[in-house]
A and B are shown apart, each in its own frame.
Chain A
Amino acid sequence: MSVGELKMDHRDHHLRKISIWLAVISTVLAVTLPIVPIALLLGWFTTDLLDLASRAGLSVGHAPNQLLSFIAGLLSLVPVLCLSKALWFARQYFLLIQSGILLSRANVIALKGFGKFVAISGAAGLVLPTLIGLLLTANAGAGEKSLVVSLGSAPLLSLLFGGTLWTMAAVTAKATAIAEDHAQII
Chain B
Amino acid sequence: MQILVTLDVMLAKRKIRSKDLAVHIGITEANLSLLKQGKVKGVRFETLAKICEYLDCQPADILTFQRTTDEETL
Which residues in A have some Cβ–Cβ distance to B below 8 Å?
A: 181, 184-186
| Nearest CB on B from A185, distance (A) | 4
**8 A–B pairs (Cβ distance < 8 Å), ordered by A:** A181-B41, A185-B42, A185-B44, A186-B27, A186-B32, A186-B35, A186-B40, A186-B43
Contact residues on B (Cβ < 8 Å of other chain), bracket = 10 to 19
Chain B 30-74 residues near chain A, CB threshold 8 A:
31-32, 34-35, 40-44, 47
> Which residues of chain B have C-beta atoms less than 8 A from A185's C-beta?
40-44
Q: Closest 3 A-B residue pairs measured CB to CB? A: A185-B42, A184-B41, A186-B40
Residues of B within 8 A of A186 (CB): 27, 31-32, 34-35, 40, 42-44, 47
Distance in angstroms between the alpha carbons of A185 and B40 in the assembled complex: 6
A186 and B44 alpha carbons, distance in the complex (Å): 6
Complex CA–CA separation, A92 to B31 (angstroms) = 31
Residues in B with CB closer than 8 Å to A184 are 40-42
**Taking the nearest CB of chain B, how far is it from the CB of A71, in angstroms?**
55
